[in-house]
Chains A and B, each alone.
Chain A
């Protein structure tokens, strides 16, 4: 899998615009901007760190670098699913933060032009705050994640919990 991805990266390295890495959680397909993605690795032994929210599974050793990993499934309040050999960790670099996202499977890199992206409907109260937009690729629909929010907006949640 990762070799395939590497190949894809190699070909399209010249421009990262409008390119998205798509992955699945359950039946939904999500996408994140390719420029954030550093690498994709298989599931690793995770060291648990106490006193953290459940969705932060702990820390992993990525070639000597210690990075936290977040289970996106739990982040979206979906039931926990055992990790298997299809489970991947997408390592992203956002600002100064390196973090790994645990996802069910990684699918492919897609080109979604800006014109094909629409804003999410404003229905639920904050339910889709991690979704930046909805991309159309052929007949499928990809939910484009707002990485920044995914990482940084949990302080709010902590506060809510306290209250």
Chain B
């Protein structure tokens, strides 16, 4: 909450959005877990309470009153649950409510992010939450009260043993003074109680003991009115000087007037205004004060939780790009120094030692910088749990989502392009693929359908598969539909795969009725567009009655790959190491050549085409005899070929950079997927095996 000192709105707003989004993600995870476990554990209740509390506080500060009010209601609900811990509440109902609240907040944040006013009416939702609170209050009251009372007493005793809130300042012992302050907030600033709490929160760092009036800031609407009318009174013990404290108080937002007094009689002052202002018996006052202390503890744990979260920072991606470029430069500069021609022939033991150390450090630095951009797909995958939950509930289907390979790391840009297609695919799988439990049982399948979402690295691609065990695609129906829509000829002689791929055409849907979730024929089109935008492909496989698998293949355009550097003449090329099967020097007897001049090689009874890189890329080289150079057997997208190069130069982690747009615009080179920088600053071209093969096949076809 140190943000509050930050007055500048823009960074604050950014921070707010970032924080709120993060909290919402956390909340979603907790709720899904709760629902799975069919109950909310105490830790989770506290966590939800804290999240809502933080959102409420920051939303109120940012003047997003509807968000604040919704979160306030949820907070109320959880405050009740936390305090009273009613035994019988309906977990799913609570989860539904919180999900609704969460969606509301998310919508608002989206609006804020888009720079539009977030002014959706929160009243109906707030009303629903309030109603539910009343409901559980009624049911929980009679039985839970007795128990609660005793528990509360326990707690009190426990706290008696504990000291007052001790803040970090204890270390530097300065003479403490007692102060009393009266704060008036600006007229119409609203949420005075929250603002008062902020003031207290800010003071907490610097004061050993704080008491304030009214005591209860959150759960009592009258306290707000009280603050408006009589001002907010704080009593505190602090080592700060009068001036420092005054400054601190004036720093808070919307403070109109502060009266700060140094005082001697601290204890007296506490009880005095209490008895005159809010009629409360001594026991009650005691209780609220312990409550107050407790809330301090809560906020202390909140602080520590926040510290953990702050291990993550958000960085503009452009800065990372720049950093990566600079590190690349550094590596080049390093090799320029250590391989400087001036040093040739000199005996430099110490220099070499230090140079090695430097090389090690720059290597490490490079590795780290490269890994920064990579994010595991887990976050995107986990978002799907919610969709599965909502949809299976609405459609009355039982679906479980299995996730594999979520640790696969993908470049940030690609992750952004992945989330929408995945959502559509999961929706499709549930809506079209998975049958109702009755149908499933009739087919002899387990009641619960399953969707497997899997990510893995394959060559220079990331492959994401979404597989369901539903009814599969109906080949005939698709064909029929395509023919009626005039998309294809009736007897075009298409393979199953080609027919299944028809479903990706815009406006193509075999579903008769449009539902809330699908049937408009847009989804698959979105998938295709998004994946194509990052240069990927979509492929559909299906077996009727068994299920459907949709495979997204996305190149790691900006990602890091392990590459094998090879040399052809003076040129350098890189082949993704994952696509290399083996490399070997051929024996004359293995080589075959057909009448068209196509060269092939026989390895272990299999015949593979040979691609001469120097011919293909028109590079001058002395090595033209197969037995002098080396053959690299590479495989991509199920096709294999041997690539002939002069020599292997070694393995290296490389960052794939796209070829300049200018060149791409001039001509699309299918055999190259990009370029990369080598350690010495020279550029190496990355070979796209699939492209090379495709090209070769086309040539052959043309010949025929």
Contact = CB atoms under 8 A, between A and B. Distances in A.
Given A49-B669, A52-B666, A67-B660, A59 B328 contact: no
Interface string A146-163: 000001001100100000
A56 B663 contact: yes
A66 interface: yes
Given A63-B329, A66-B659, A51 B619 contact: no
B618 A61 contact: no
Nearest to A67: B660
A72 B325 CA distance: 28
A98 interface: yes
Contact of A97 (B325, B332, B662, B669): B662
Contacts of A48: 571, 617, 619
A52 B669 CA distance: 9
A66 B675 contact: yes
Contact of B657 (A50, A66, A151): A66
A154 B699 CA distance: 26
Contacts of A60: 683
B328 A64 contact: yes
B689 to A, nearest CB: 16
Contacts of B671: 50
Contacts of A155: 666
B335 to A, nearest CB: 13
A158 B571 CA distance: 26
B681 interface: yes
A65 B325 contact: yes
Given A49-B672, A52-B666, A68 B571 contact: no
Nearest to B327: A64
B526 to A, nearest CB: 27
B588 interface: no
A63 to B, nearest CB: 5
Contacts, number: 75
Q: Size range of the interface on A?
A: 20 to 34
Interface string B327-370: 01100100000000000000000000000000000000000000
A15 to B, nearest CB: 29
A52 B667 contact: yes
B90 interface: no
B616 interface: yes
B464 interface: no
Contacts of B617: 48, 50
A48 to B, nearest CB: 6
Nearest to A155: B666
A134 B667 CA distance: 33
Contacts of A61: 332, 677, 681-683
B558 interface: no
Contacts of B685: 47, 49
Nearest to B616: A50
A121 to B, nearest CB: 31
Contacts of A154: 666
27 contacts: A47-B571, A47-B572, A47-B675, A48-B617, A50-B671, A51-B669, A52-B663, A52-B666, A52-B667, A59-B683, A61-B681, A61-B683, A63-B325, A63-B326, A63-B328, A63-B329, A64-B326, A64-B677, A65-B325, A66-B657, A66-B675, A66-B683, A68-B660, A97-B661, A98-B660, A154-B666, A155-B666
Given A52-B663, A59-B663, A65-B325, 10 more contacts: A45-B682, A47-B571, A49-B663, A49-B672, A50-B671, A53-B666, A61-B677, A68-B662, A97-B661, A151-B662
